[in-house]
């Protein structure tokens, strides 16, 4: 059952939200929120992300039987109904926790939960729209963390939201290229199927390059310390290698490198905010 949630991804999303809140504190010198509030922030993101993963597996059982036969549902370890009920329970708990934080967090949590359901049911099967949805959902973890401090915190996280969205968009297209055989067999309309793997690779590369070119923006606009630049250069290097791997036809390797680059970028955000102040 836990395999449905992809706990590592849930934890990474929750940590990103907490980091978003921490960055706002670091660059504005606002007091650090209490442990209970941070726990609610982390837990609500963790639960909603897990719910989204579970309902995605519910709708994708037939596709996963081709692309990823060892996933919990196609392997027979979990029933489709169990995945559906678990996802609805987690959505409810995550939204309820968000309500205890503030109205902006509640609105983001509710919006994202609905988007996760629509994505799993409809948008994943459409060219580019599904990729954009996942990009937004990933980037919105920073918005959610900033929303702990209301509208000003939300605004300050908009730049990091944009960078995370672009990087995720590049990785999602690479994953679609990797899954093109199974998606094609199920009659899906992903970007690689619509325009071909080669052109889709160009699109993913373009989004990755834009993310790299915009990577200095947090240093310039948020008052990040120079340590941000020292660390983000390694993330940029990973992005460029991922792009080269994609251009060489290794979509699976490229997707893994994109994910590692995003983790390094997350570390850059943290170290950059520690020495910042605006």
Last residue of a domain, one of 138, 156, 174: 156
By mean pLDDT, which of 13-27, 66-80, 196-210 is the weakest? 66-80
174/272 same-domain check = yes
12/137 same-domain check = yes
184/106 same-domain check = no
Confidence of residue 278 (pLDDT cuts 50, 70, 90): very low
194/150 same-domain check = no
What pLDDT was estimated at residue 98?
97
pLDDT tens-digit map of 8-18: 889 989 998 99
Cα dist from 202 to 71, 185, 229, 236, 246, whole Å:
30, 23, 27, 18, 9
Cα dist from 218 to 28, 138, 278, whole Å:
14, 18, 12
Tell me which of 60 and 242 has the higher pLDDT: 242
pLDDT tens-digit map of 72-96: 888 878 888 888 999 999 999 999 9
Number of domains in the chain: 2
The domain in which residue 106 lies consists of 1-156
Q: What is the CATH number of the domain that holds 60?
A: 1.10.357.140
121/161 same-domain check = no
C-alpha span between 273 and 10 (Å, rounded): 23
What pLDDT was estimated at residue 11?
93
Tell me which of 144 and 274 has the higher pLDDT: 144
Tell me which of 2 and 271 has the higher pLDDT: 271
Confidence of residue 123 (pLDDT cuts 50, 70, 90): confident
Q: What is the CATH number of the domain that holds 201?
A: 1.20.120.1780
CA torsion sign for 123, 129, 130, 134 is negative
The rounded mean pLDDT for the chain is 88
135/35 same-domain check = yes
Total Cβ atoms within 10 A of residue 172: 25
pLDDT, mean of residues 234-244: 93
146/12 same-domain check = yes
pLDDT, mean of residues 157-171: 91
Q: Is the pLDDT of residue 238 over 60?
A: yes
| Percent of the chain clearing pLDDT 70 (strictly above) | 97
| Percent of the chain clearing pLDDT 90 (strictly above) | 50
Last residue of a domain, one of 156, 183, 209: 156
Total Cβ atoms within 10 A of residue 70: 9
What pLDDT was estimated at residue 55?
94
6/66 same-domain check = yes
Look up the pTM and report it: 0.85
pLDDT, mean of residues 16-25: 89
Determine the length of the chain. Answer: 278
């Amino acid at each position: 059952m836990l395999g449905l949630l992809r706990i590592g991804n849930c934890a990474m999303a929750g940590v990103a939200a907490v980091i978003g809140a921490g960055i706002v504190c670091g660059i504005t010198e606002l007091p650090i929120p209490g442990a209970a509030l941070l726990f609610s922030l982390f837990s609500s993101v963790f639960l909603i992300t897990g719910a989204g993963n579970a309902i995605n597996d519910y709708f994708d059982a037939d596709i996963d039987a081709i692309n990823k036969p060892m996933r919990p549902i196609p392997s027979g370890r979990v029933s489709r109904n169990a995945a559906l009920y678990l996802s609805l329970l987690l959505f409810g708990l995550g939204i309820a926790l968000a309500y205890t934080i503030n109205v902006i967090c509640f609105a983001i949590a509710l919006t994202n939960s609905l988007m996760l359901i629509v994505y799993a049911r409809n948008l994943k099967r459409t060219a580019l729209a599904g990729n954009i949805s996942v990009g937004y959902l990933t980037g919105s973890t920073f918005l959610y963390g900033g929303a702990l401090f209301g509208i000003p915190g939300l605004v300050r996280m908009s730049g990091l939201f944009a960078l995370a969205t672009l990087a995720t968009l590049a990785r999602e297209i690479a994953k679609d290229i990797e899954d093109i055989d199974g998606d094609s067999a199920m009659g899906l309309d992903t970007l690689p199927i619509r325009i071909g793997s080669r052109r889709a690779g160009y699109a993913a590369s373009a989004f990755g390059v834009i993310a790299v070119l915009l990577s200095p923006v947090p240093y310039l606009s948020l008052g990040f310390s120079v340590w941000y630049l020292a660390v983000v250069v390694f993330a940029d290097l990973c992005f460029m290698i991922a792009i080269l791997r994609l251009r060489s036809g290794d979509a699976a390797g490229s997707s893994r490198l994109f994910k590692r680059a995003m983790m390094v970028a997350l570390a850059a955000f943290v170290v950059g905010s520690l020495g910042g102040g605006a």
